[in-house]
Amino acid sequence: MKVYYLPSNNESGLNIETIDRSVMEKFNSDDYRYMHLALDDARSAKGRTTPNPAVGAVVVVKNRIVGRGATAEWGGPHAEKCALKEAGARARGATMYVTLEPCPHFGKTPPCTDAIIAAGIKRVVVAVRDPNPLVAGKGISQLRRHGIVVSTGLLRNEAAAVNEDFFWAITRQRAYITLKLALTLDGRIADSTGASKWITAPALRRIVHDLRRTHAAVAVGSGTLAADDPRLTVRCGRKANPARIVFSSVEAVPPQSYFYQHAWETRSIAVIRQKTERRITTDTASGIEFWYTGSDDPALSMAAFTEIAFSQNITSVLVEGGQKIASVLLEAGLVNRIYLFYGNRILGNGTDGILTTSGFPVANCITLRERETRLAGDDFYITGIPVFPAR
């Protein structure tokens, strides 16, 4: 599995050591096996738990699994409580493996630490500490005060990768932005007539749907909405669709668009770049929310959007273009992770995927770290965390 670290966006930034300064403890092969299962459960929950992190938990007695759980939808039980419910009385004296530090505070549900203590769990193995200021080591401390042995750091990089968006959002108080572009080998997102379907083959498009599944919202610009009329839906692996977002400088949303006609199916948002007060209104006829960012400057408006989104419990956004939105985000340094999907095609002309106002010199341009490249039939993709040039 590829290990990702947290994005820095040209700051010193978060890293795993910042989240969990614990000394790496010794673990046996069984510990690794059970934590891998907990991570599998966490990944399966990814996308449905927002704005909460996706967590997995496994309860084990004498090398026998007696309970497993993953975080439910927001407002539902956390992974620890799901696993404890399945274990029942068998949890007394057991070991719990959990991918993220148990919460010690009241939120939509009571503290998980209280449930663990009441169940009689003897040992808790935590993959990574929670950077949420409401938790941040307090859960581990509470468990230890009640005589529970707590071991930390097992597969912490893998656990941090599952929730890299949550870690960013909760510590920066703004939404995590993933930028995705489908490009030809010569960097075009459409041909000279504006046609863009289909640059990539179905194998890569299935990966895009999985990305949509794991984000709280999917977004495009008004130009893409007008040209492609995208559905922005998940057609595999998730019952409910993420929120849909369109970026625009005007309030009008084409009434014939899929976005407008199906706004009732999921949260639908038009982000308006205008020099007016920052506010949110809802159109009662369509159900579309209008978020006014308070600025007509593209970069400042987009930065304001990330703050508004976080305040509205949208902690991660997959932006699927087009050119203007992608370029603004990159030029403003607001992208946390980028996916470039390349179709095995050369057009020679058409619409460039990225076209910033001034560009960057070779010696001081955007680069990617923690890169992963994967082939899918004749196509391929590359993903990584942008490192932005010094300003």
| C-alpha gyration radius of the chain | 22
Which of these is catalytic: 11, 17, 80, 307?
80
Separation of alpha carbons 99 and 91, rounded Å: 18
3-state secondary structure of 177: strand
3-state secondary structure of 343: coil
Place of tokens 């960013």: 168
3-state secondary structure of 364: helix
Sign, Cα dihedral of 244, 250, 252, 257: negative
Asked about 80 being catalytic, the answer comes back as yes
Place of tokens 């656990």: 159
Q: In this structure, what token pair is assigned to residue 383? A: 């993903």
Q: Tell me the β-bridge partners of 149.
A: 123
DSSP string of 249-288, one letter each residue: SSS---TTSHHHHTGGGS-EEEEE--SS--EEEE-TTT--
Neighbours of 349 (CB within 10 A): 9
For residue 151, what is the DSSP state?
A: E
Which residues fall within 8 angstroms of residue 83, CB to CB, at 6 or more apart? 57, 58, 59, 67, 68, 69, 96
Q: Which of 206, 132, 186, 181 is nearest to 318 (CA)?
A: 181
Place of tokens 């495009």: 220
Q: Tell me the β-bridge partners of 338.
A: 179, 384
Separation of alpha carbons 303 and 143, rounded Å: 39
Max Cα separation, the chain?
69
For residue 332, what is the DSSP state?
A: T
Separation of alpha carbons 122 and 109, rounded Å: 23
Assign 3-state DSSP to the chain and report helix, strand, coil percentages, each to 5. Answer: 30, 25, 45
Which residues participate in catalysis according to the annotation? 80
